[in-house]
Amino acid sequence: MSDWILASGSPYRRELLGRLGRDFEVASPDIDESPRPGESADELVVRLAESKARAVAEGRPTGLAIGSDQVSERDGTILGKPGDAATAREQLRGASGRTVTFHTGLALVDAATGEAQVAVEHTRVRFRELDDAMIERYVAAENPVDCAGGFKSEGLGVVLFDAIEGEDPAALVGLPLIRLVRMLEAAGETLP
């Protein structure tokens, strides 16, 4: 059994990984998360997830580093975390009545070998028609400034949706657990 290192300061990812019933270390990597020119949403999240995992695996003789990153994409435009309430409201106005795709990159890096497993999970969220009053109430209630797309699906954000389509419900929150379990097993871990 290897030590696990979650390469993220996100409380959402920490809570999700905790569901697997194992102790793990948390390390927040300091990497540049800027998109590169011409980089697709999938390329961006895979690169960032792997960079995060490699950054925390570096210098360790053993352990499995887990990195993840997420962006939303609407009409070919990549949207990250809003960072403030005004941008969250703007992102939600743009999502009103539309389908937004969330790209969640996942990487598992073996510190001993440097071997990496990487993947992307896609989740499509179909938003209801949202009026300004609903958006204002929602943003005031949850302050979702640190969440891609400007909402928290695990909280009140569910009131904003008509439907969610994807293979892994945890992917929308930020850490695809179904895929991660497969990766951990491929790395020799036994779960549960």
Which residues participate in catalysis according to the annotation? 69
* Cβ atoms of residues 98 and 74 within 8 Å: yes
Q: Distance (Å, rounded) from C-alpha 56 to C-alpha 53? A: 5
Q: Where are the alpha helices (DSSP H) in 36-118?
A: 41-57, 85-95
**Strands (DSSP E) along the chain, which ranges?**
4-6, 25-26, 64-74, 77-79, 99-110, 116-127, 161-166
* CA dihedral sign, ordered 171, 175, 177, 178: positive
The letter for the amino acid at 134 is M
